[in-house]
Structures are given as structure tokens and as C-alpha cells.
Structure 1
Amino acid sequence: MNQLDALRQFSTVVADSGDIESIRHYHPEDATTNPSLILKAANFHAYKYLINDAIQYAKRQGGNKETQTINASDKVAVNIGMEILKNIPGRVSTEIDARLSFDRNMCIIKAEKLISMYEEYGINRSRILIKLASTWEGIKAAEELQKKEIQCNLTLLFSFAQARACAEANVYLISPFVGRIYDWYNMRQPLEPYDVDKDWGVKSIHRIYNYYKKYRYNTIIMGASFRKIEQILALAGCDKLTISPKLLQELANNHIPVIRKLMPSIECFHRPLSPLSQAEFYWEHNQDSMAVEKLSDGIRQFAIDQKKLEDMLANYLFN
């Protein structure tokens, strides 16, 4: 048995890709996308028909240049999501515009729009996760959306305060970014030779996992943003792991035995008496320099790629 198949015994494998051919090849349960992956996929010649369809959709909807561009961008994300859903049994995560990350009401409005676009084509909302940045506003938006049976994937998660607030809001799923945490610390204190047990990103997920299982939170933990297969294997047993095609291939080519590393606690503990307040959340989150820097950097980078996608679509629409 190769490591990819062995890993599936302990964790649900999710494809971190908008590349439909890769998804077909590796047979993941679920798939995740983000603005960077959508931008990359939109430039594949094989997906040109999805772009053309989005352009025609935006023109039919009408409106000014900004409105048509946004509608085309949303339709591209939904089109790629629908193609992915044809090739997986589970869910696809579709991310909202990162520029809305600090506006709870707009996060809710955009999420409802994307869900309605999927439902227009007969896709049940139970197969969609709306990805939101793990800001306070994003977490609170997810809490409201959950009441409308719109389940969310809280991404760009770096601090324990973010993880705790998500669990207390009964968010469906979180995506802690193992690789980006590792990158930040490794730039300042290189881990040479590499020791996965000292990997800061891996240790972060261990802490969150143990806390969630100890207090019986229902929020799913999906490790994300991996740099090495060692990080993935050190998290065997995590609820879900979203993995890039490159690392999926490495796992499929490797036959060293996989050992489960994360196990739920058999003890049950009473939860903390009160959830984090907004002030407590900001105080705790801002004690973590890495988390503050990586969250803001992640939002900026996703916004840059969102703008690139919109500029490309505007060029098709108006030139």
C-alpha cells in the first residue's frame, strides 16, 4: 500500500487544487480552491469554455463595468467548483473575495450569492463550503451562515485564538496553515536539520486537535498549506488534510508505512465557561506576531490574485 492510500485509513484526503485533471487522478473525497488556484486554473486552455460561459453570464446579468466584472469572477469560481464536483463524492470549498474579510455583512451577502448560483444549477448547498478568512468578522459571518444551513471553511488560520473562536462559533471546518507557519519561523530560526517533531506548524495543529477533542467541539480540523510530506504524515489522524497535487504524487510514490499520530482523547472535559469576547479575541490573537503577520499577508495576497482575475475578465468583457 502506498502512503496516500495508507493515509486515507486515518484522515480524509482533500485536493488543494483547481486542476480538475489532478483531482480525477488522485480521487480525493473533497477539494478546496482559493483565488490563487482559481486564477491559475482560469489560465488553463482546457478551461477556456468555463471563462467564456462566465463572460456570457455577466453580460446577461448586465450592470456597469464593476458589476459585470464581479459577476464574471463569481461565475468562474462557481463554474470551476461545479466541474470539480463532477469528480468528487464530497464537497468543494469556494472562497469569497478576500477584500471583504473585515465586513461581516458583505461576507454573508457574498456567501448567499455564491450558494444561490450553485443552486441555480441543481447543486445542493450541502456540497459547498464557503471559505472565509479567519478574522473576527469572518468567524461571526460563518456563525450566522451556519444558521441558514450554509457551512463554512475558515481559512488563513494561524493562531490558537482563531481556532478557539471558530469552535465556539460552531464553525463547520477550519484550515490551519501548517506550511505558512513553518515558513515564518524557519526564516527566523532555521530548523536544520529538519525535525518534524519541532515543526511549528505541525505543533500548532497538534495543540488545536487535542483542544477540540478534549472539549468535544464538532468543528472539523483540516490541515492545509503543506511544504513537505513529513508534515502530512506527522498529522495522520487529523480529521482532514488538504494536499497539493505535487505532494499527493509524492505520497502515491512512497511505500514506507504510515503510523497514526493524532488520536481523539477518550476523556471528556467541561468546556471553558464563556466564549472569547471580541476584545479577548483581538488581544489573544495579537499576542502572536506570526499569526498577525501571516493573516494580513494572506488576505493581501489573495486580494492581489482576485484583482488579477478580475482584470483578466474585464479585458474579455470590454475589449
Structure 2
Amino acid sequence: MERKVVLITGCSSGIGLHLALRLAADPSGSFKVYATLRDLGSQGPLWEGARARGCPPGSLETLQLDVTDSGSVAAARDRVAEGRVDILVCNAGRGLLGPLEAHAAEAVGSVLDVNVAGTVRTLQAFLPDMKRRRAGRVLVTGSVGGLMGLPFNAVYCASKFALEGLCESLAVLLPPFGVHISLIECGPVRTAFQEKLEGGPGGVLGSADPQTRALFSRYQRHCQRLFREAAQDPEDVVQVFLRALRAPRPALRYFSTERFLPLAGLRLSDPGGSRYVDAMHRAVFSEPEEGEARDAPGGLQGP
């Protein structure tokens, strides 16, 4: 049985690392996994996990791939088995948290470069061969922040909204080529992603007005509660990737959790947007004090 060749971006930690290990250790031996990292100096946890899971020799290989560098993407493609990738997972991503006016131009550009342009570069490198062979799967790590706007995540949401348009457009085009693309829409996940956020908690707020700083403090409390109640383990999210990967007729979107579907549904069913804006504002900023009962607007539990 010929093994499926899988290439995953962003494997230094979190979802990418867990997915790479899960596929490499698959008992069927069906996958040859290329786990890519921007910095190969951070591959230690990946190999520690491979040893712990007993990944067979040859099932896992690491490659340097920086999605912001077209040359790096091309070099990784050329090192993969004759350029053939059966399953491409675009997982590399970066966040940016805080008031819009507090973000440096470089930080904004970095998020858009990694999340949007980086995904485009990766797809441009690997899609042509999939189309020539009339076969391929593409999985893209999406977010509920690509389906609805979240306060203090304006640039991150902009990048994830862009991925929705990118993938939906390709989904319409690719079926005649035997290629399928799916977004895995994630909610909060217990990974190092939060710790690596540019402009994360404790970041620069000096350029924001006092009211915005107070709202940001409320938002931080909301997020802390949300992560306590709803954050998923990466292994649970990996299960959703596997379901999309193995589906005979893959859907465009898979959701790692149903918790946020009511708000997402409200946004889609409210063309004018006013009801969604009001509901999200109340869900996030009407945070009760510790020990008080929470009354979510309209029965909705916002992200």
C-alpha cells in the first residue's frame, strides 16, 4: 500500500505538532508526514513526542519552511517526495490582540503576511501538482474569528475572514480537478498560541483612551472565563482534522466545537448586522463579577 504524503506547516507546537504525531504514529502506516517549522531549532518537542508515541522510522521528517519566504516554501516543496503531496495542511498562523490603534504597522503586516499571504504562497506551491494529478486534499486551520468579528482581534479576524474567502473560492473551482479544500473552524484551544500573541495581555495600551483600556480589561476577564469553560485540548481538535481528511466527500467547513454556532448563525442570518453586533457586545462586555450569575443575551454564549 502506497503511503499518503502529508505536509503540515506550523509544527513547532499546538495543533500542527499534535496532528503530525497522530498521522505519523497511525497504526495502519498509511502516512508519510513532513512536519515543517519556520525554525528547525524548535523541533525538539516534535521528536520527543515521536519517541513517546513510537512513530515508526521513516514515518516523520522535519523540514524548514517559512511561509513568509517564497524561496523557503519552494525549497521545502522540492525536498518532498518528487514534489508530490497528497494532503496539505496549512496551519501556520499568528495572532494580534489589543486595540487597533495600539498596533505597530510591522505587527499588522506580519499577521497578514503569515496568515493570508503565507497560505497563498503555500497553496501556489503545492496546488498545481495536485491539479495535474487530479487528486489532493487541502486542510486549512480556520477560526470562529473568520466567521464573526471579535473585539480586540480586528487584524486577526481580518486575516481569518480573508482565508474564508480564499478557501470558499477555491472550493468552487477545484472539484473538476479531484482536489478538495476544507476549513477546520477552531474555537479556543489549549496551545502556546495565546502565549505567542503579539500585543497580548500586558502589551502596549498607551495609545488607547481610558475607556478602551477599561473595555480591554473586561475582554481579558471574558477570555479567561471562556478558556476555563470551553478551551479544547489539541488532541480533540486533531480528531476533527482526521474526520475531514478521511471523508469521502469533504465539506468546506468542519467545526471543532458547536459552542459558537448560535452566534455564527445569528451573524449569517442578520444581513444588516445590527442584531449580531448588539449580541456580541453584550456577550463580551456584560461580564458579571466573580460569583454572579451570567445572563447571556438571547441564550447565546459568545466567544
TM-score bracket for the superposition, by shorter chain length: 0.3 to 0.5
Q: Which has the higher contact order (CA 8 A, sep 6+)?
A: 1
Normalized against structure 2, the TM-score is what? 0.35
Normalized against structure 1, the TM-score is what? 0.34
Name whichever structure is richer in helix by fraction: 1
